[in-house]
Amino acid sequence: MDYASPKEVMLTEFCRASGYLAPIFQIVSDRRGGRTAWSCTVQVGPHFFEARHWYDGQYVHNAREDAAERALQAFGQLPVPKPMFPQQQNAGQTQRRSDAPNWRKQE
C-alpha cells in the first residue's frame, strides 16, 4: 500500500515510541448478497482492534483508518467521542424498579 492515512502514521509512531513492533493490519471481507463488505483489524502487540464499520471495496482505506483510530483511542492517544444522544450513555442498562414506569390501572 502506497498511502498510509494520518491515523495509521500516528499509530505507527506510537508503536515505535512505546516499544511495540509495527502495527499489523488485516483486511477482512464478508459476502453480503451480491456484494462484498470490507473491514479491518489491527494488531498492536498482543492487542487486537476492529474497525467499527464495514466498507465498500473502494473504501478499504477507510477501514484501515477506522481500526487505527480505535487502537489510538484505546491507548489514550485520541479522545473517545461522547455519545450524540444522552440515552446512548445508558444503553444496555436495565431500569431499576423505582425508575420503571407505573403501568397499573388508576382507579
Q: Which CATH number belongs to the domain containing residue 21 in this structure?
A: 3.30.160.20
Q: Is residue 93 part of a domain?
A: no
Q: Is residue 60 part of a domain?
A: yes
Q: What distance lies between CA 89 and its chain's CA centroid? A: 17
Residue 2: predicted pLDDT: 62
Mean residue pLDDT of the chain comes to: 86
Whether residue 76 is predicted with pLDDT greater than 60 in this model: the reply is yes
| pLDDT digit string, tens, across residues 47-68 | 999 999 999 999 999 999 999 9
Which residue range(s) make up the domain with 45?
6-83
Report the share of the chain in percent with pLDDT over 70. Answer: 78
Q: Is residue 41 part of a domain?
A: yes
Contact 49, 70 (CB under 8 A): yes
Residue 87: predicted pLDDT: 66
| Structural domain total, the chain | 1
For residue 64, what is the DSSP state? H
